[in-house]
Chains A and B, each alone.
Chain A
Amino acid sequence: MKVAVDEEKCCGAGQCVLLAPEVFDQRDEDGVVILLDEQPSENLHGSVREAADVCPAAAIEVSEDA
Protein backbone atom coordinates (compact mmCIF):
# COMPACT_ATOMS: atom_id res chain seq x y z
CA MET A 1 0.00 0.00 0.00
CA LYS A 2 1.17 3.50 -0.84
CA VAL A 3 -0.34 6.60 0.78
CA ALA A 4 -0.30 10.15 -0.54
CA VAL A 5 -1.76 13.32 0.96
CA ASP A 6 -2.77 16.60 -0.64
CA GLU A 7 -1.70 19.33 1.77
CA GLU A 8 -3.55 22.01 -0.12
CA LYS A 9 -6.86 20.19 0.06
CA CYS A 10 -6.45 19.24 3.71
CA CYS A 11 -8.87 21.12 5.96
CA GLY A 12 -7.19 20.13 9.20
CA ALA A 13 -10.11 18.20 10.66
CA GLY A 14 -7.74 15.59 12.01
CA GLN A 15 -10.05 12.63 11.41
CA CYS A 16 -7.12 10.69 9.95
CA VAL A 17 -5.07 11.17 13.10
CA LEU A 18 -7.93 9.90 15.24
CA LEU A 19 -8.09 6.76 13.11
CA ALA A 20 -4.44 6.08 12.30
CA PRO A 21 -2.07 8.05 14.54
CA GLU A 22 0.81 5.80 13.44
CA VAL A 23 0.49 7.08 9.88
CA PHE A 24 -0.86 10.63 10.14
CA ASP A 25 -0.12 13.67 12.25
CA GLN A 26 -0.95 17.38 11.97
CA ARG A 27 1.30 20.40 11.79
CA ASP A 28 1.20 22.41 14.99
CA GLU A 29 0.68 25.78 13.36
CA ASP A 30 -2.15 25.13 10.90
CA GLY A 31 -3.29 21.55 11.46
CA VAL A 32 -2.39 20.43 7.95
CA VAL A 33 -1.74 16.72 7.62
CA ILE A 34 1.75 15.25 8.00
CA LEU A 35 2.27 11.84 6.43
CA LEU A 36 4.42 9.84 8.84
CA ASP A 37 4.54 6.63 6.85
CA GLU A 38 4.07 6.43 3.09
CA GLN A 39 4.06 2.64 3.10
CA PRO A 40 2.39 1.57 6.31
CA SER A 41 2.64 -2.03 7.43
CA GLU A 42 -0.20 -4.38 6.72
CA ASN A 43 -1.77 -4.28 10.17
CA LEU A 44 -2.50 -0.56 9.57
CA HIS A 45 -4.06 -0.89 6.13
CA GLY A 46 -7.59 -1.10 7.46
CA SER A 47 -7.38 2.08 9.49
CA VAL A 48 -5.57 3.93 6.68
CA ARG A 49 -8.31 3.04 4.17
CA GLU A 50 -10.86 4.16 6.72
CA ALA A 51 -8.99 7.45 7.15
CA ALA A 52 -9.05 7.99 3.38
CA ASP A 53 -12.79 7.26 3.29
CA VAL A 54 -13.72 9.63 6.09
CA CYS A 55 -11.37 12.49 5.21
CA PRO A 56 -13.82 15.38 4.79
CA ALA A 57 -11.60 17.00 2.18
CA ALA A 58 -10.82 13.86 0.16
CA ALA A 59 -7.16 14.70 0.69
CA ILE A 60 -5.81 11.17 1.23
CA GLU A 61 -5.09 8.86 -1.65
CA VAL A 62 -4.36 5.19 -1.15
CA SER A 63 -3.04 3.00 -3.93
CA GLU A 64 -3.16 -0.67 -3.20
CA ASP A 65 -0.83 -2.06 -5.83
CA ALA A 66 2.30 -0.14 -4.94
Chain B
Amino acid sequence: MSEPSSVLVVGASAAGLATVESLRRGGYRGTVTVVGEEEHAPYDRPPLSKQVLSGNWESERSRLRTESALVETGAEFVLADPAVRLEPAERAVHTASGRTLRAEAVVLATGLRPKRLPGTDVAGVHVLRTLDDSLRLRAELSRARNVVVVGDGVLGSEIAATARGMASDVTLVGSQAAPMADQLGPRVAGMLGELHTERGVRLRPRTGVEAVQADHGRVTGVRLETGETLPAAAVVVAIGAAPATDWLAESGLRLDDGVVCDSRCRAAAGIYAVGDVARWHHEGLDRSMRLENRTNATEQARAVAANLLGADRPYAPVPHFWTDQFDAKIQVHGVPHAESEVTVVEGDPAERRFLARYTTRGTPVAVLGWNRPKQVRTRRQEVVETFSVPALEPN
Protein backbone atom coordinates (compact mmCIF):
# COMPACT_ATOMS: atom_id res chain seq x y z
CA MET B 1 0.00 0.00 0.00
CA SER B 2 1.30 3.43 -0.83
CA GLU B 3 1.37 6.05 1.89
CA PRO B 4 -2.15 7.02 2.94
CA SER B 5 -3.18 10.65 2.59
CA SER B 6 -4.76 10.65 6.04
CA VAL B 7 -4.64 8.51 9.19
CA LEU B 8 -7.25 8.25 11.90
CA VAL B 9 -6.14 6.81 15.23
CA VAL B 10 -8.90 5.53 17.50
CA GLY B 11 -7.63 5.66 21.08
CA ALA B 12 -5.65 8.48 22.69
CA SER B 13 -3.46 6.57 25.09
CA ALA B 14 0.16 5.40 24.86
CA ALA B 15 -0.22 3.28 21.71
CA GLY B 16 -2.31 5.86 19.89
CA LEU B 17 0.08 8.68 20.72
CA ALA B 18 3.12 6.60 19.77
CA THR B 19 1.51 5.86 16.41
CA VAL B 20 1.17 9.58 15.72
CA GLU B 21 4.71 10.40 16.81
CA SER B 22 6.22 7.52 14.87
CA LEU B 23 4.39 8.56 11.71
CA ARG B 24 5.76 12.08 12.01
CA ARG B 25 9.21 10.77 12.88
CA GLY B 26 9.02 8.71 9.70
CA GLY B 27 8.44 11.89 7.72
CA TYR B 28 4.70 11.56 7.30
CA ARG B 29 3.04 14.88 6.44
CA GLY B 30 -0.53 13.79 5.88
CA THR B 31 -3.54 14.57 8.04
CA VAL B 32 -3.59 12.80 11.39
CA THR B 33 -6.61 12.71 13.69
CA VAL B 34 -6.82 11.06 17.09
CA VAL B 35 -10.15 10.32 18.68
CA GLY B 36 -10.26 9.38 22.37
CA GLU B 37 -12.89 8.32 24.86
CA GLU B 38 -11.56 10.21 27.86
CA GLU B 39 -11.37 13.95 28.33
CA HIS B 40 -7.73 13.78 29.41
CA ALA B 41 -4.78 14.38 27.14
CA PRO B 42 -2.73 11.19 26.68
CA TYR B 43 -1.40 9.95 30.00
CA ASP B 44 0.62 7.00 31.20
CA ARG B 45 -1.02 4.03 32.88
CA PRO B 46 1.77 2.29 34.83
CA PRO B 47 1.88 5.07 37.47
CA LEU B 48 -1.88 4.72 38.07
CA SER B 49 -1.36 1.71 40.33
CA LYS B 50 1.78 3.15 41.92
CA GLN B 51 2.86 6.82 42.09
CA VAL B 52 -0.53 8.33 41.26
CA LEU B 53 -2.45 5.90 43.46
CA SER B 54 -0.18 6.46 46.43
CA GLY B 55 -0.43 10.22 46.03
CA ASN B 56 3.31 10.61 45.49
CA TRP B 57 2.53 12.11 42.09
CA GLU B 58 -0.09 14.64 41.21
CA SER B 59 -2.11 13.39 38.27
CA GLU B 60 -0.51 15.98 35.99
CA ARG B 61 2.75 14.10 36.26
CA SER B 62 1.30 11.08 34.49
CA ARG B 63 0.78 13.12 31.32
CA LEU B 64 2.73 11.59 28.46
CA ARG B 65 3.41 14.86 26.64
CA THR B 66 3.14 18.56 27.34
CA GLU B 67 0.45 20.49 25.53
CA SER B 68 3.03 22.08 23.25
CA ALA B 69 4.51 18.69 22.33
CA LEU B 70 1.03 17.53 21.35
CA VAL B 71 0.52 20.63 19.23
CA GLU B 72 3.87 20.00 17.55
CA THR B 73 2.64 16.65 16.25
CA GLY B 74 0.22 18.56 14.05
CA ALA B 75 -2.43 15.97 14.84
CA GLU B 76 -5.98 16.93 15.71
CA PHE B 77 -7.04 15.41 19.04
CA VAL B 78 -10.77 14.81 19.39
CA LEU B 79 -11.19 13.94 23.06
CA ALA B 80 -14.09 12.93 25.32
CA ASP B 81 -15.86 11.42 22.34
CA PRO B 82 -15.75 7.62 22.22
CA ALA B 83 -15.88 5.80 18.91
CA VAL B 84 -19.08 3.77 18.65
CA ARG B 85 -18.93 2.21 15.19
CA LEU B 86 -16.50 1.45 12.38
CA GLU B 87 -17.28 1.00 8.70
CA PRO B 88 -14.15 -0.74 7.46
CA ALA B 89 -14.84 -0.41 3.72
CA GLU B 90 -15.32 3.34 4.08
CA ARG B 91 -12.74 3.61 6.84
CA ALA B 92 -15.26 5.73 8.65
CA VAL B 93 -15.57 5.97 12.43
CA HIS B 94 -18.71 7.23 14.10
CA THR B 95 -18.48 8.72 17.56
CA ALA B 96 -20.86 9.03 20.47
CA SER B 97 -21.45 12.71 19.83
CA GLY B 98 -22.46 12.01 16.24
CA ARG B 99 -19.24 12.89 14.45
CA THR B 100 -18.17 10.86 11.44
CA LEU B 101 -14.43 10.78 10.87
CA ARG B 102 -12.95 9.34 7.69
CA ALA B 103 -9.39 8.62 6.69
CA GLU B 104 -7.49 6.52 4.22
CA ALA B 105 -6.04 4.42 7.03
CA VAL B 106 -7.45 3.70 10.48
CA VAL B 107 -5.44 2.52 13.49
CA LEU B 108 -7.39 0.86 16.30
CA ALA B 109 -5.90 1.56 19.73
CA THR B 110 -8.86 1.32 22.07
CA GLY B 111 -7.14 -0.73 24.75
CA LEU B 112 -8.93 -2.70 27.43
CA ARG B 113 -11.95 -2.62 29.67
CA PRO B 114 -11.59 -4.05 33.16
CA LYS B 115 -13.67 -7.10 33.98
CA ARG B 116 -16.05 -6.76 36.89
CA LEU B 117 -17.46 -9.23 39.35
CA PRO B 118 -21.19 -9.78 39.08
CA GLY B 119 -23.22 -8.11 41.79
CA THR B 120 -20.55 -5.57 42.73
CA ASP B 121 -22.30 -2.43 41.66
CA VAL B 122 -22.09 -0.92 45.12
CA ALA B 123 -20.17 2.02 46.55
CA GLY B 124 -16.64 1.19 47.63
CA VAL B 125 -16.00 -1.41 44.92
CA HIS B 126 -13.44 -0.22 42.39
CA VAL B 127 -11.71 -1.19 39.21
CA LEU B 128 -8.53 0.48 38.00
CA ARG B 129 -7.96 1.34 34.37
CA THR B 130 -8.21 5.10 33.95
CA LEU B 131 -6.76 8.14 35.64
CA ASP B 132 -10.17 8.93 37.10
CA ASP B 133 -10.37 5.38 38.49
CA SER B 134 -7.00 5.86 40.15
CA LEU B 135 -7.96 9.20 41.72
CA ARG B 136 -11.25 7.79 43.02
CA LEU B 137 -9.49 4.81 44.53
CA ARG B 138 -6.78 7.02 46.01
CA ALA B 139 -9.37 9.11 47.83
CA GLU B 140 -10.96 5.98 49.22
CA LEU B 141 -7.74 4.22 50.22
CA SER B 142 -6.65 7.20 52.23
CA ARG B 143 -9.76 6.71 54.40
CA ALA B 144 -10.24 2.96 54.37
CA ARG B 145 -9.07 0.90 57.31
CA ASN B 146 -9.31 -2.41 55.52
CA VAL B 147 -8.94 -3.09 51.83
CA VAL B 148 -9.46 -6.27 49.85
CA VAL B 149 -7.87 -6.62 46.43
CA VAL B 150 -9.42 -9.35 44.31
CA GLY B 151 -7.13 -10.64 41.58
CA ASP B 152 -3.44 -11.52 41.89
CA GLY B 153 -2.10 -10.64 38.45
CA VAL B 154 0.33 -7.78 37.97
CA LEU B 155 -2.26 -5.05 38.52
CA GLY B 156 -3.80 -6.57 41.66
CA SER B 157 -0.37 -7.26 43.13
CA GLU B 158 0.79 -3.70 42.51
CA ILE B 159 -2.40 -2.25 43.96
CA ALA B 160 -2.04 -4.41 47.08
CA ALA B 161 1.56 -3.23 47.53
CA THR B 162 0.60 0.43 47.10
CA ALA B 163 -2.50 0.11 49.30
CA ARG B 164 -0.41 -1.37 52.06
CA GLY B 165 1.37 1.96 52.33
CA MET B 166 -1.99 3.73 52.72
CA ALA B 167 -4.39 1.45 54.57
CA SER B 168 -3.71 -0.49 57.71
CA ASP B 169 -5.12 -3.80 56.59
CA VAL B 170 -4.73 -5.20 53.07
CA THR B 171 -5.68 -8.64 51.81
CA LEU B 172 -4.86 -9.94 48.33
CA VAL B 173 -7.24 -12.65 47.16
CA GLY B 174 -6.43 -14.53 43.99
CA SER B 175 -6.88 -17.72 42.05
CA GLN B 176 -3.17 -18.43 41.64
CA ALA B 177 -0.78 -20.25 43.96
CA ALA B 178 1.17 -17.01 44.42
CA PRO B 179 0.89 -13.46 43.06
CA MET B 180 1.71 -13.26 39.34
CA ALA B 181 2.40 -17.01 39.13
CA ASP B 182 1.19 -17.06 35.52
CA GLN B 183 3.62 -14.34 34.48
CA LEU B 184 6.61 -15.26 36.65
CA GLY B 185 6.35 -18.99 37.21
CA PRO B 186 5.91 -20.60 40.63
CA ARG B 187 9.41 -20.03 41.97
CA VAL B 188 9.72 -16.28 41.50
CA ALA B 189 6.03 -15.74 42.23
CA GLY B 190 6.59 -17.57 45.51
CA MET B 191 9.28 -15.05 46.37
CA LEU B 192 6.95 -12.21 45.49
CA GLY B 193 4.34 -13.74 47.78
CA GLU B 194 6.91 -13.87 50.58
CA LEU B 195 7.70 -10.19 50.04
CA HIS B 196 4.04 -9.27 50.27
CA THR B 197 3.58 -11.32 53.44
CA GLU B 198 6.66 -9.81 55.01
CA ARG B 199 5.36 -6.32 54.31
CA GLY B 200 2.06 -7.12 55.92
CA VAL B 201 -0.21 -7.97 53.01
CA ARG B 202 -2.40 -10.94 53.89
CA LEU B 203 -2.55 -13.42 51.02
CA ARG B 204 -5.46 -15.67 50.19
CA PRO B 205 -4.07 -17.68 47.27
CA ARG B 206 -6.07 -20.22 45.25
CA THR B 207 -9.21 -18.68 46.64
CA GLY B 208 -12.38 -17.67 44.86
CA VAL B 209 -14.77 -14.94 45.88
CA GLU B 210 -18.32 -15.97 46.60
CA ALA B 211 -19.93 -12.59 47.11
CA VAL B 212 -19.33 -8.99 47.94
CA GLN B 213 -21.33 -7.98 50.98
CA ALA B 214 -22.97 -4.60 51.21
CA ASP B 215 -25.08 -2.62 53.58
CA HIS B 216 -27.23 0.27 52.35
CA GLY B 217 -25.49 0.16 48.97
CA ARG B 218 -22.03 0.36 50.48
CA VAL B 219 -19.52 -2.49 50.57
CA THR B 220 -18.81 -4.03 53.98
CA GLY B 221 -16.87 -7.16 53.17
CA VAL B 222 -15.96 -10.00 50.85
CA ARG B 223 -17.13 -13.55 51.42
CA LEU B 224 -14.68 -16.13 50.13
CA GLU B 225 -15.46 -19.59 48.84
CA THR B 226 -13.61 -20.99 51.82
CA GLY B 227 -16.33 -19.53 54.05
CA GLU B 228 -14.12 -16.80 55.43
CA THR B 229 -15.48 -13.26 55.38
CA LEU B 230 -13.03 -10.38 55.07
CA PRO B 231 -14.33 -7.05 56.33
CA ALA B 232 -13.65 -4.34 53.75
CA ALA B 233 -14.23 -0.62 53.56
CA ALA B 234 -12.91 -0.71 50.01
CA VAL B 235 -12.63 -3.51 47.46
CA VAL B 236 -10.56 -3.41 44.28
CA VAL B 237 -11.47 -5.84 41.53
CA ALA B 238 -8.43 -6.57 39.36
CA ILE B 239 -9.42 -9.83 37.73
CA GLY B 240 -8.19 -8.93 34.29
CA ALA B 241 -9.48 -6.96 31.37
CA ALA B 242 -10.98 -7.59 27.98
CA PRO B 243 -10.04 -5.88 24.72
CA ALA B 244 -12.34 -2.92 24.10
CA THR B 245 -13.87 -4.25 20.88
CA ASP B 246 -17.57 -4.01 21.70
CA TRP B 247 -17.82 -1.01 19.36
CA LEU B 248 -16.45 -3.19 16.54
CA ALA B 249 -19.04 -5.95 16.94
CA GLU B 250 -20.78 -5.14 13.66
CA SER B 251 -17.71 -4.04 11.75
CA GLY B 252 -17.08 -7.41 10.16
CA LEU B 253 -13.52 -7.41 11.49
CA ARG B 254 -12.43 -10.68 13.03
CA LEU B 255 -12.56 -10.41 16.81
CA ASP B 256 -11.15 -13.15 19.00
CA ASP B 257 -9.88 -11.86 22.32
CA GLY B 258 -8.72 -8.75 20.49
CA VAL B 259 -8.74 -7.45 16.95
CA VAL B 260 -7.25 -10.26 14.88
CA CYS B 261 -4.40 -9.03 12.66
CA ASP B 262 -1.77 -10.51 10.40
CA SER B 263 1.94 -10.37 11.16
CA ARG B 264 1.98 -6.72 10.02
CA CYS B 265 -0.68 -5.86 12.63
CA ARG B 266 -3.15 -5.30 9.81
CA ALA B 267 -6.77 -6.25 10.45
CA ALA B 268 -8.13 -5.40 7.00
CA ALA B 269 -7.18 -3.25 4.04
CA GLY B 270 -6.10 0.10 5.50
CA ILE B 271 -6.99 -0.94 9.06
CA TYR B 272 -4.41 -1.73 11.71
CA ALA B 273 -4.48 -2.40 15.44
CA VAL B 274 -1.93 -1.52 18.13
CA GLY B 275 -1.43 -1.98 21.85
CA ASP B 276 -3.56 -3.96 24.30
CA VAL B 277 -6.41 -4.43 21.84
CA ALA B 278 -4.33 -5.99 19.04
CA ARG B 279 -3.98 -9.72 18.49
CA TRP B 280 -1.42 -10.35 15.81
CA HIS B 281 0.65 -13.18 14.41
CA HIS B 282 4.15 -13.22 15.89
CA GLU B 283 6.20 -14.73 13.08
CA GLY B 284 9.19 -15.47 15.29
CA LEU B 285 7.07 -17.65 17.58
CA ASP B 286 4.68 -18.62 14.81
CA ARG B 287 1.67 -18.01 16.98
CA SER B 288 -1.02 -15.51 17.66
CA MET B 289 -0.24 -13.12 20.48
CA ARG B 290 -1.70 -10.21 22.39
CA LEU B 291 0.31 -8.27 24.94
CA GLU B 292 -0.97 -6.05 27.71
CA ASN B 293 2.06 -4.04 28.61
CA ARG B 294 3.46 -0.57 28.28
CA THR B 295 6.52 -1.41 26.22
CA ASN B 296 4.41 -3.16 23.61
CA ALA B 297 2.15 -0.14 23.22
CA THR B 298 5.07 1.89 21.92
CA GLU B 299 6.90 -0.81 19.99
CA GLN B 300 3.82 -2.04 18.19
CA ALA B 301 2.83 1.53 17.33
CA ARG B 302 6.24 2.08 15.79
CA ALA B 303 5.89 -1.09 13.74
CA VAL B 304 2.44 -0.08 12.51
CA ALA B 305 3.57 3.44 11.66
CA ALA B 306 6.42 1.99 9.62
CA ASN B 307 4.04 -0.38 7.83
CA LEU B 308 1.66 2.48 7.09
CA LEU B 309 4.58 4.20 5.42
CA GLY B 310 5.26 1.13 3.30
CA ALA B 311 7.76 -0.94 5.29
CA ASP B 312 5.76 -4.20 5.09
CA ARG B 313 7.65 -5.72 8.01
CA PRO B 314 6.41 -8.33 10.48
CA TYR B 315 6.15 -7.24 14.10
CA ALA B 316 8.14 -9.79 16.09
CA PRO B 317 9.25 -8.20 19.35
CA VAL B 318 10.99 -9.62 22.39
CA PRO B 319 8.21 -8.80 24.87
CA HIS B 320 9.24 -6.75 27.88
CA PHE B 321 7.44 -5.80 31.04
CA TRP B 322 8.29 -4.51 34.46
CA THR B 323 6.58 -4.23 37.80
CA ASP B 324 7.52 -2.29 40.93
CA GLN B 325 6.17 -3.62 44.22
CA PHE B 326 7.50 -2.44 47.57
CA ASP B 327 11.24 -2.24 46.96
CA ALA B 328 11.26 -4.90 44.26
CA LYS B 329 11.86 -3.81 40.68
CA ILE B 330 11.15 -6.81 38.52
CA GLN B 331 11.90 -6.71 34.81
CA VAL B 332 11.33 -9.44 32.26
CA HIS B 333 12.50 -9.76 28.68
CA GLY B 334 10.81 -12.61 26.85
CA VAL B 335 7.84 -14.70 27.92
CA PRO B 336 8.30 -17.02 30.92
CA HIS B 337 6.17 -20.15 30.90
CA ALA B 338 4.75 -21.50 34.13
CA GLU B 339 6.55 -24.80 33.46
CA SER B 340 9.89 -23.22 32.46
CA GLU B 341 13.03 -24.30 34.22
CA VAL B 342 14.38 -21.35 36.22
CA THR B 343 18.12 -20.92 36.72
CA VAL B 344 19.61 -18.16 38.81
CA VAL B 345 22.49 -16.89 36.69
CA GLU B 346 23.70 -13.97 38.80
CA GLY B 347 23.21 -12.67 42.32
CA ASP B 348 21.35 -14.21 45.20
CA PRO B 349 17.58 -14.60 45.57
CA ALA B 350 17.99 -14.50 49.36
CA GLU B 351 19.37 -10.97 49.01
CA ARG B 352 16.64 -10.08 46.54
CA ARG B 353 19.05 -9.03 43.85
CA PHE B 354 19.39 -11.60 41.13
CA LEU B 355 19.01 -12.54 37.50
CA ALA B 356 17.20 -15.66 36.37
CA ARG B 357 16.97 -17.40 33.03
CA TYR B 358 13.82 -19.27 32.02
CA THR B 359 14.31 -22.24 29.72
CA THR B 360 11.62 -24.37 28.14
CA ARG B 361 12.70 -27.64 26.50
CA GLY B 362 16.22 -26.30 26.13
CA THR B 363 15.19 -22.98 24.59
CA PRO B 364 15.80 -19.76 26.56
CA VAL B 365 12.40 -18.03 26.68
CA ALA B 366 12.97 -15.23 29.16
CA VAL B 367 15.42 -13.45 31.43
CA LEU B 368 14.22 -11.86 34.65
CA GLY B 369 15.92 -9.33 36.86
CA TRP B 370 14.91 -8.74 40.46
CA ASN B 371 16.42 -5.40 41.48
CA ARG B 372 18.83 -5.78 38.57
CA PRO B 373 17.34 -3.54 35.87
CA LYS B 374 20.59 -2.68 34.16
CA GLN B 375 22.00 -6.18 34.18
CA VAL B 376 18.83 -7.79 32.85
CA ARG B 377 18.95 -5.51 29.84
CA THR B 378 22.42 -6.71 28.99
CA ARG B 379 21.12 -10.29 29.15
CA ARG B 380 18.22 -9.60 26.80
CA GLN B 381 20.42 -10.77 23.94
CA GLU B 382 20.18 -14.33 25.28
CA VAL B 383 16.54 -14.61 24.24
CA VAL B 384 16.55 -12.53 21.06
CA GLU B 385 16.97 -15.50 18.78
CA THR B 386 13.96 -17.27 20.27
CA PHE B 387 11.73 -14.42 19.08
CA SER B 388 13.34 -13.50 15.77
CA VAL B 389 11.73 -14.26 12.48
CA PRO B 390 13.53 -17.09 10.70
CA ALA B 391 15.40 -15.66 7.72
CA LEU B 392 14.15 -18.10 5.13
CA GLU B 393 14.00 -15.90 2.10
CA PRO B 394 16.01 -12.87 1.18
CA ASN B 395 13.89 -9.81 1.71
Residues of A within 8 A of B (CB): 9, 11-15, 17-18, 26-28, 30-31, 49-50, 53-54, 56-58
Contact = CB atoms under 8 A, between A and B. Distances in A.
Nearest to A56: B294
A26 B377 contact: yes
A26 B372 CA distance: 11
B321 to A, nearest CB: 9
Contacts of B21: 53
Contacts of A58: 44, 63-65
Contacts of A18: 377, 380
B320 A57 contact: no
A49 B25 contact: yes
A11 B374 contact: no
Given A14-B374, A53-B18, A53-B25, A31 B329 contact: yes
8 contacts: A12-B329, A12-B331, A13-B373, A13-B377, A30-B373, A31-B372, A53-B22, A56-B295
**Interface of A: prevailing SS:** loop
A16 to B, nearest CB: 10
Given A27-B374, A31-B373, A54-B302, A11 B65 contact: no
Given A14-B374, A56-B294, 19 more contacts: A9-B61, A11-B46, A11-B324, A12-B329, A12-B331, A13-B320, A13-B331, A18-B377, A30-B329, A30-B371, A31-B329, A31-B372, A54-B18, A54-B302, A56-B46, A57-B44, A57-B46, A58-B63, A58-B64
A47 B393 CA distance: 29
Contacts of A27: 374
Contacts of A31: 329, 331, 372-374, 377
A46 B21 CA distance: 13
